Structure 1
Amino acid sequence: MALKATIHKAQLNISDMDRHVYGEHNLTVARHPSETDERMMMRILAYALNVPADDLRGRLEFSKGLSDVDEPPLWQLDLTGEVVHWIELGQPDERRLRQAHGRADRVTVIGYASSTPVWWAGIQNKLQRTPKLAIWQVPADQSQALAALAERGMQWQISIQDGTAYVTTDKGAVEITPQLLKEREE
């Protein structure tokens, strides 16, 4: 018998002063049996950091993720089904990033392992002609601190200012400062 996904509920109250995005978002997150708390919490953080100000070009959504290798953990699809924003987590290979770059208007990768700079150094030269790609790293100690806040039902207060996200829950608070490794070209 196959293991089923565990359902987590997250209520996010986002105040992103950097992008002028404010609002409340109720998320239902299906956690695959092989997914860690850290990865699940990074998916929720990626949502908070990238949620658009409005739904004019579609909504940011969790995809089938680990259940479908052709989809990223998060994406924003417009009303015609075109990919507006493709968001990867971890350290995807260069081939997957090239495919995403060809399918989406924007591609974002958020790495959260301490080995992310080594991974990026190994594929950086292969991705020189990818202007729509941005690479970020969340320091491993910060992503692990965020993972410690995981619960089946969560309420997050997220304030984002000057590139730092302040996440507060009933279990505690974490300060997360993603570091830019590759900037998307406009």
Structure 2
Amino acid sequence: MALKSTIYKAELSVADMDRNYYGTHLLTLARHPSETDERLMIRILAFAIHADERLVNAKGISDTEEPDLWQMDLTGAIQLWIEVGQPDERRLLKASGRSEQVMVYSYSSASPVWWKQLASKIDRARNVSVINIDPESSAALEKMAQRTMQLQCTIQDGQIWLTDGETTVEVLREVWKA
């Protein structure tokens, strides 16, 4: 018998002063049985960073043809393709050809090794950006994961804070490819 996804619900309020974007999003997230709470929270963080009315959760981990998040224009063309974790070269190059912009959010302590092997292979993909989330930040986000969450994200001057009302995490990150 196959394990089913666990449903998480999050009310995410975003105040992004850098983009002048303010909004509240009701997210229903299916956590695949192989997905960790840490990865789920990085998906929520990526949503907050790129929050938009047309940004949606895709099948991601359970479908090799879709990212974790994507945003399409009114014609159905993919504007933004967001991957969480350590996708392989082929997946990123394919995404690069299908989307205007590709964002990768890596978050594990093994990410530097993954990036060292991948960097030269995707250098020609000009529309791919790679951001590494500090392992301490992602571990702190993981502790915030609950089946029902109310989260607030504040982005100002390139700094990001995510809070659940009890705990506030400053998300430290490093841009590996812009």
Report the TM-score, using the length of structure 1 for normalisation.
0.91
In the alignment, residue 39 of structure 1 is paired with which amino acid?
A: R
- Which deviates the most, 171-180 or 89-98? 171-180
The alpha-carbon deviation at position 170 of structure 1 amounts to: 3.6
Distance 1:145 1:158 in 2: 14
8 Å Cα contact 2:14/2:51 also seen in 1: no
Mapping for residues 139-154 of structure 1, pairs under 5 Å: 139-154=134-149
Mapping for residues 43-62 of structure 1, pairs under 5 Å: 43-52=43-52, 55=53, 59-62=54-57
The alpha-carbon deviation at position 177 of structure 1 amounts to: 2.0
1:19 to 2:45 alignment: no
1:69 to 2:64 alignment: yes
* Identity, % of aligned positions: 50
The alpha-carbon deviation at position 102 of structure 1 amounts to: 0.3
The count of aligned residue pairs is 178
In the alignment, residue 158 of structure 1 is paired with which amino acid?
A: C
1:34 to 2:29 alignment: no
Distance 1:143 1:117 in 2: 15
Where do 5+ consecutive residues of structure 1 fail to align?
A: none
Q: Which residue of 2 aligns with 1:173?
A: 168
Q: Which residue of 1 aligns with 2:104?
A: 109
Pairwise CA RMSD: 1.2
- After superposition, the C-alpha distances for 1:60-85 in whole angstroms (9 at most, x for unaligned) are 11111222111111111223222110
8 Å Cα contact 1:160/1:166 also seen in 2: yes
The alpha-carbon deviation at position 171 of structure 1 amounts to: 4.2
Q: 3-state SS of the aligned residue for 1:35?
A: coil
8 Å Cα contact 1:149/1:171 also seen in 2: no
Distance 1:16 1:133 in 2: 22
Where do 5+ consecutive residues of structure 2 fail to align?
A: none
| Runs (4+) off by over 6 Å | none
In the alignment, residue 62 of structure 1 is paired with which amino acid?
A: N
1:130 to 2:125 alignment: yes
